[in-house]
């Protein structure tokens, strides 16, 4: 079945460092891909998404490109801030079943000043 695999955390960085969180997927057809973020004490929020191959989703300085050839959707940010400390979840939605998201296990990011 469809699945998402993302790198285990925690990822620990200094402020202004470059961030990459890897995400790969297995799916039938052409899924939509998402990154969600959960800040401490808050609910899960959609960060960005991409719905077709080569699309780039971006928001708040974060970017991820839908790579069909490598079945990947890696999250990147050029310069992280302490306020980016959170848990990040990669997810997919199958075109054959749009009423559910399939999530990865989440990656905790800790940014220190």
Partner 1 sequence: GAGVSQSPSNKVTEKGKDVELRCDPISGHTALYWYRQSLGQGLEFLIYFQGNSAPDKSGLPSDRFSAERTGGSVSTLTIQRTQQEDSAVYLCASSLAQAVTEAFFGQGTRLTVV
State the residues that interact with partner 1 by CB under 8 A.
4, 32, 34, 41-46, 49, 89, 91, 93, 97-106
Residue 5: which residues within 8 A CB-CB, separation 6 or more? 23, 24, 25, 26, 104
Decide whether 17 or 58 has the Cβ nearer to partner 1: 58
Least Å distance between CB 44 and partner 1? 4
Least Å distance between CB 5 and partner 1? 9
Answer for the pair 25, 10: CB distance below 8 angstroms, yes or no: no
């Amino acid at each position: 079945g469809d699945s998402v695999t993302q790198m285990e955390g925690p990822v620990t960085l200094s402020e202004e460092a470059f961030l990459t969180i890897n995400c790969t997927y297995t799916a039938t057809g052409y899924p939509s891909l998402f990154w969600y973020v959960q800040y401490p004490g808050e609910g899960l929020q959609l960060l960005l998404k991409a719905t077709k191959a080569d699309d780039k989703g971006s928001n708040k300085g974060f970017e991820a490109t839908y790579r069909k050839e490598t079945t990947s959707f890696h999250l990147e940010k050029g310069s992280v801030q302490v306020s980016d400390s959170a848990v990040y979840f990669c997810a997919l939605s199958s075109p054959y079943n749009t009423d559910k998201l399939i999530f990865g296990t989440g990656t905790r990011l800790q940014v220190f000043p």
